[in-house]
């Protein structure tokens, strides 16, 4: 098949959803499919590259930050993806379009399908569903929601990255939605024995935004000042200064490391040096970093938001708590930081449970869906 992929986020631009798109594209290309991606340009990125057998075209859309896209930048992406997509369809003749994110990529896919008849598959991640991340996109959907139902109805197939995302979408759009979770290349990621670090390392990876509840991470770790640990917080965003201020107030600044925005490969390398993933998010689809952390054998201290419960088997590999439950996170981490045997058992359980997210199985499912849509 020839597959034209539309996504406004693709590494190094964006977060977990972009990494999902990259993994799926590379997996499909490895099976002999021709895959071409239209994504957003940012900073000093090239405008074209071929990576893992996938052709990637970076389009000028007005995106100014790697970690965040404004509504204006998303609208710019829809415009650019439509016109470049039209050129690709006329010259390259793809069999199917895969729109990663119902908004904004889905809008461009809908318009292209309307004009050319090319079928498209829509994949929803959470923030592209009304109510998925209200603190981030609530105001946007107040404006754009009336225009979104046709995007979902015209799609040849619709998928979602978690049961939570699917169920939320079904409240707004009466279409069939298949759940295909985010995956990870277990052979590439989970090699080697699990060994504890001294001192234990707690890690976070993601945007420094309200949705991720990042300031609380600093507060929780500061409550554990009597124990030995290090904390690595990967990412960037508007709350970084607030996080740094909270770290300074706790008097444990020398134990924290904030390297800023990093590449997906650097995230995996950091997980290799960590023991516990801490993510008290207010909302999640199915976080890619959570799946990767499982494959690396990290214990998980997560909120119960969105698809997070699909990653944790309570009492085995982690805990699920309310986002604001600082005392609960402190208690869970205190157990692991004080008892190496319990931490090691949780880490081994994560590695075992990660088998359900094997990327090969995930690519199988997308391949079947795309073939069905192309027919």
Residue-wise pLDDT for 82-99, tens only, equals 999 999 999 999 999 999
Q: What would the mean pLDDT of 331-359 be, rounded to a whole number? A: 96
The residues with which 124 forms a beta bridge, in sequence order, are: 160
Percent of the chain beyond pLDDT 90?
85
At the fourth CATH level, which superfamily is domain 2-183+358-374?
Answer: Glycogen Phosphorylase B; (3.40.50.2000)
2-183+358-374 and 186-357 in the same fold? yes
CB 210 within 8 A of CB 239: yes
Q: What is the mean pLDDT of residues 207-221?
A: 95
Which numeric CATH code is attached to 186-357?
Answer: 3.40.50.2000
97-152 pLDDT per residue, tens? 999 999 999 999 999 999 999 999 999 999 899 887 776 676 778 888 889 999 99
* Average pLDDT of span 39-60: 96
- The domain spans of the chain are 2-183+358-374, 186-357
Q: How many C-beta atoms surround the C-beta of residue 93 within 10 A?
A: 11
**Model pTM greater than 0.75?**
yes
Helices (H) and strands (E) in the chain — how many of each?
14, 14
166 pLDDT exceeds 80?
A: yes
| pLDDT over threshold 70, residue 24 | yes
9/16 Cα distance (integer angstroms): 9
Rounded distance between C-alpha atoms, residue 326 and residue 294, angstroms = 23
């Amino acid at each position: 098949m020839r597959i034209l992929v539309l996504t406004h986020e693709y590494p190094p631009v964006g977060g977990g959803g972009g990494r999902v798109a990259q993994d799926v594209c590379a997996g499909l290309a490895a099976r002999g499919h021709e895959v071409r991606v239209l994504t957003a340009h940012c900073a000093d990125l090239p405008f074209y590259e071929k990576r893992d057998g996938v052709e990637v075209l970076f389009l000028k859309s007005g995106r100014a930050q790697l970690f965040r896209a404004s509504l204006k930048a998303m609208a710019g992406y829809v415009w650019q993806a439509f016109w470049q997509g039209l050129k690709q369809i006329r010259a390259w003749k793809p069999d199917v379009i895969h729109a990663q994110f119902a908004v904004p990529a889905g809008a461009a896919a809908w318009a292209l399908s309307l004009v050319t008849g090319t079928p498209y598959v829509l994949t929803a991640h959470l923030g592209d569903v009304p109510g998925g991340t209200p603190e981030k996109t609530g105001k946007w959907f107040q404006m754009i929601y009336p225009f979104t139902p046709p995007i979902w109805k015209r799609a040849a197939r619709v998928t979602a990255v978690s049961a939570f995302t699917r169920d939320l979408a079904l409240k707004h759009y009466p279409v069939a939605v298949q759940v295909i979770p985010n995956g990870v290349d277990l052979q590439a990621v989970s090699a080697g024995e699990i060994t504890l670090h001294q001192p234990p390392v707690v890690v976070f990876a993601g945007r420094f935004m309200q949705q991720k509840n990042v300031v609380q991470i600093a507060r929780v770790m500061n409550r554990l000042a009597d124990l030995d640990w290090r904390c690595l917080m990967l990412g960037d965003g508007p709350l970084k200064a607030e996080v740094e201020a909270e770290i300074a107030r706790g008097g444990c600044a020398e134990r924290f490391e904030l390297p800023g925005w990093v590449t997906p490969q650097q995230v995996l390398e950091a997980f290799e040096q960590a023991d516990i993933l801490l993510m008290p998010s207010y909302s999640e689809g199915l976080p890619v970093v959570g799946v990767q952390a499982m494959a690396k054998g990290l214990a998980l201290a997560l909120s119960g938001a969105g698809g997070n419960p699909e990653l944790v088997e309570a009492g085995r590999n982690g805990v699920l708590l309310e986002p604001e439950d600082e005392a609960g996170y402190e208690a869970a981490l205190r157990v692991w930081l004080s008892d190496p045997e319990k931490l090691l058992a949780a880490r081994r359980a994560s590695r075992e449970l990660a088998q359900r997210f094997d990327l090969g199985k995930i690519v199988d499912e997308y391949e079947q869906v795309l073939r069905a849509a192309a027919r």
